[in-house]
Amino acid sequence: MARRVSCRPVSVRLLSVLFAVALAPVAGAAEDPLTPWLQARVREHIAFFAAPLPVADAPATAGVSSLWRERPKGYAGLPHFTPPTSLAPLIRAVEAGVVNITTVAPGAVVGAVKRSTGSGFVLTPDGLVVTNNHVVANAQGPEVNPSGSGVTPGKDGPREVPVQQVSVRLADGREFPADVVGRDASTDVALLRLNGAGLGTLRSVFLGDSDALEVGDWVVAIGNPFGLDHSVAHGMISAKERVLGVGQFDDFIQTDALINPGNSGGPLFNMKGEVIGVNTAIISEGQGIGFAVPINLVKDLLPNLRENGKLERGWLGVVINEDGADATATAPVVKDVYRGSPAAQAHIRPGDRLVAVNGRPIGSYLQLLRKVALLAPGTEAKLTLLRDGGTQEVAVRLVARPAQEATEGLSNRGGSSANDLGLVLRDLTPEVAAPLGYEAFLGALVSGVLPRSPAEQAGLRAGDVVMEVNRRRVKDTAAVKAALERGSAGASILLRVQRGDALQYIAIAR
């Protein structure tokens, strides 16, 4: 941006003439030794008055005693800044795409009071609607337990969970029943489909680019707080990429636009009338602190929800260097590539630095994990990488994450055997730790146990995390090996192991 500068309001030419006249030597007079010094000071004063004012945006006039600056009369304002006047035209243009979502218990009689649970917005004219997962979490159908039986165990045996029905009311008052097409708790996003006559011409919203947001951008939140239809709040972007500890996909937009219960799932608009976030959370102890899921994350997730009904995670098949997995703004560096993986087929190799996925920059391991995991298996992604000082683009067709990739399957690549104990160990890198819910480098992951080995006889199993060896803290496989080498030959080994949420000591006889 070009800086606007101005000079002191004194004529430089006039000053130079006056000083020249004042210092001109009298003819025939001996040269005064003070004259060269005065002439040097004159040159300094001329340079001072000729220099631009140290003001980046506009000229200023001095206040009393030059203690402050003031704008000159008629100043036109800051460049590239237009203060908002009324948001009414924007609201009129977008409010038809905002909906109210209610639920009603099954078997309720006609006229039963429906409970407003949140907000949403129309994605397509034929009736796809986006909202929060927690708004419709009880409307998916019978709750499915981890075994996939379709029922939830109860005190007296398996039981069916009551299913709530979803109803969506448009801005014009029309109301439609809705089915849950797909939902994902880790991102708190859900996709609904309206049913009934009159679909096909609904007013849908436009989606924007959340990566282009800047702190200070004006935003508008529209929703149904406490069941109050189409309430509008405005504010600005307070921060980006907030991590709230909800999960590995934490990447929230923070805003001071008021978000209250009932706003959940509603849109956060920019000043172009584009949705740049899905309002999702508030901090009850604070005021003016709300959070929204970035719309670019939602864009990556929606095809997955529509096709699979849930988040089917794509898998690239790379191990990221620890230096590329920290919180610094450094593109991830590939440490290793799994044989037969999509990365291997695309000829990605150790040392490559991954800088973008589908044209969107990535600056950390977590950003890479989010962007890849949100893409459905079978998706072709374009990766931009740095290699040997140059930039290359490669196409990668992602596959489903291997079911045992985080346990036994990891031993196929880079595993380390503690042969005398029958343990196959793996470093608990961020890529390995995240799916298991562990902290990175908490210890060494047991990725395999040899049959009839001392480790198997002691009860160790794949998925355990070794945290201590003979009461020495260890954080990776190298530390485990070093601790084992320090032990006495023939002596028992005492391991402290994390298994799920439990910590236990296990003794292994050599």
Higher per-residue pLDDT: 302 or 144: 302
Write the Ramachandran bin of 93: left for phi over 0, alpha for psi from -120 to 50, otherwise beta: alpha
Check 116, 119, 238, 264 and give the catalytic one: 264
**pLDDT tens, position by position, 302-353:** 998 998 898 888 888 888 875 444 444 468 888 888 877 888 889 998 989 9
Give the DSSP letter string of 133-201. HHHHGGGSSSPPPTT--SSEEETTEEEPPP--EEEEE-TTS-EEEEEEEEEETTTTEEEEEE-STTTT-
Query: Which helix (H) or strand (E) is 484 found in, with range?
Result: helix 477-486
pLDDT band at 201, cuts 50/70/90?
Answer: confident
Predicted confidence at residue 205, as pLDDT, reads 93
Check 184, 188, 251, 427 and give the catalytic one: 188
Predicted confidence at residue 244, as pLDDT, reads 67
Query: How many other CB atoms are found less than 10 A from the CB of residue 334?
Result: 21
Helix (H, G, I), strand (E, B) or coil at 482: helix
Nearest to 235 by CA among 252, 250, 253, 209: 253
Query: How many other CB atoms are found less than 10 A from the CB of residue 324?
Result: 21
Rounded distance between C-alpha atoms, residue 429 and residue 76, angstroms: 56
Q: Identify the CATH assignment for 314-400 out of 3.40.1360.10, 2.30.42.10, 3.20.20.140, 3.30.300.90.
A: 2.30.42.10
**pLDDT tens, position by position, 80-104:** 877 678 888 899 999 999 999 988 7
At residue 503, φ and ψ (nearest 5 deg) are -110, 135
- The CATH fold assigned to 91-107+114-143+161-308 is Thrombin, subunit H (2.40.10)
The chain-wide mean pLDDT, for the chain, equals: 76
Higher per-residue pLDDT: 21 or 231: 231
Predicted confidence at residue 331, as pLDDT, reads 80
Percent of the chain, pLDDT > 90?
Answer: 24
Predicted confidence at residue 4, as pLDDT, reads 45
Contact 321, 368 (CB under 8 A): no
**pLDDT tens, position by position, 287-301:** 778 889 999 999 989
Helix (H, G, I), strand (E, B) or coil at 52: strand
Predicted confidence at residue 153, as pLDDT, reads 42
Domain ranges of the chain: 12-69, 91-107+114-143+161-308, 314-400, 408-508
pLDDT at 426 over 60: yes
- Judge whether 188 counts as a catalytic residue: yes
Domains 314-400 and 408-508 share a fold: yes
Check 16, 45, 134, 250 and give the catalytic one: 134
Task: Report the range of poorest mean pLDDT among 154-163, 247-256, 468-477.
Answer: 154-163
| CATH homologous superfamily of 408-508 | PDZ domain (2.30.42.10)
